[in-house]
């Protein structure tokens, strides 16, 4: 019985790609740490756990809805045909129930944080769930994905302070262009399939070579805002070490992905970006708390 339950849990972990939480959670922790510094707050473990839960519930809902919304496309695409819904490991109704449960948990957790976060939670849900439909209408869907993940540092900052300010918004811009850039790289794999299914993406609209150029420009924009945030935030040498590593990893991604060689897409998409976000967050957060 225990083995069956573990197998069931494992199916849902695979369903939502739980390891990809590593893209947004480090930036939420940056936003949380900035808020402690800026607001002169003492470290609050309960609040930190609530912020982490919000990130997890929001991402679970978003990924679950994405898999549900794309189930027919996934069943046709050889790259995605082995996902849980096409293989009937998870039924569409079960996927929707999973989305609903995580949506309710997200809103309940936001309520426990503060009333402003609760009031804004439907807006956040509209963005993170709405992303899944954007590629049917616009090639800018990559930026919408970036926008959905960019809510993490802002939301974490609001959880502590209850008000907006410029610095967490800069980290949100970093996330928008960083995520959009690597999502363009990931979309290169599906260019032919997306054309047949009339789905929109930058590779479909502009071709592989131009898509790589756009991805590089987005990464450059992200690097520029890393520098701006560092200057405005009054950070020290640890921040700049992390910023250099983060930037070099983005540059490396463009050295290993070529229009005629997509064999290292998964390395560029998942592995390198996961490493980049974690290392950057470690250096930024350490810099913040060392200087307190």
User: Residue with structure tokens 């390891």?
Assistant: 19
pLDDT at 2 over 60: no
Across 83-108, b (16+ Cβ under 10 Å) vs e yields bbbbeebbeeebbeebbeebbebbbe
DSSP state of 258: B
Supply the pLDDT for residue 8.
Answer: 62
pLDDT digits (tens, 9 = 90+) for 64-79: 999 999 999 999 999 9
pLDDT at 261 over 90: no
**133/129 Cα distance (integer angstroms):** 8
Please state which of the four CATH numbers 3.40.50.2000, 1.25.40.10, 1.10.357.140, 3.40.50.300 is assigned to the domain occupying 21-290: 1.10.357.140
pLDDT at 242 over 80: yes
215 exposure class (CB count in 10 Å sphere: 0-12, 13-18, 19+) = buried
Residues β-bridged to residue 258:
261
State pTM to two decimals: 0.94
pLDDT digits (tens, 9 = 90+) for 158-182: 999 999 899 999 999 999 999 999 9
Compute the average pLDDT of residues 80-103.
94
Go through the chain and tell me how many residues it has: 292
Across 220-249, b (16+ Cβ under 10 Å) vs e yields ebbbebbeebbeebebeebbeebbebbbeb
Half-sphere CA count of 205, side-chain side, radius 13 A: 15
Tokens of 54: 């919000």
Angle at 145 between CA 77 and CA 160, to 5 degrees: 145
| Domain range summary for the chain, segments of one domain joined by + | 21-290
Compute the average pLDDT of residues 243-257.
93
């Amino acid at each position: 019985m225990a083995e069956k339950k573990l197998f069931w849990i494992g199916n849902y972990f695979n369903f939502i790609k739980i390891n990809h939480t590593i893209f947004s959670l480090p930036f939420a922790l940056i936003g949380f740490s900035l808020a402690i510094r800026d607001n002169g707050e003492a470290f609050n473990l309960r609040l930190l756990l609530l912020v982490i839960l919000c990130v997890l519930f929001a991402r679970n809902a978003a990924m679950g809805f994405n898999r549900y919304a794309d189930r027919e496309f996934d069943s046709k695409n050889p790259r995605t045909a082995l996902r849980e819904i096409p293989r009937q490991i998870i039924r569409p109704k079960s996927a929707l129930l999973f989305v609903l449960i995580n949506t309710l948990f997200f809103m309940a957790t936001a309520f426990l944080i503060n009333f402003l976060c609760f009031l804004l939670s439907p807006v956040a849900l509209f963005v993170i769930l709405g992303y899944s439909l954007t590629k049917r209408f616009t090639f800018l869907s990559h930026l919408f994905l970036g926008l959905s993940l960019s809510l993490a540092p802002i939301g974490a900052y609001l959880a502590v302070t209850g008000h907006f300010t410029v610095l967490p918004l800069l980290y949100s811009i970093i996330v928008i262009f960083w995520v959009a850039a690597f999502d363009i790289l990931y979309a290169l794999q599906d260019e032919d399939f997306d054309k047949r299914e009339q789905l929109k993406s930058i590779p479909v609209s502009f071709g592989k070579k131009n898509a790589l150029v756009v991805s590089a420009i987005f990464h450059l924009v992200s690097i520029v805002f890393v520098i701006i945030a560092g200057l405005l935030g009054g950070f020290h040498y640890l921040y700049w070490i992390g910023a250099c590593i983060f930037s070099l990893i983005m540059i490396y991604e463009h050295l290993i992905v070529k229009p005629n060689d997509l064999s290292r897409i998964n390395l560029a998409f998942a592995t390198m970006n996961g490493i980049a976000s974690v290392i950057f967050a470690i250096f930024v957060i350490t810099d913040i708390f060392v200087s307190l």
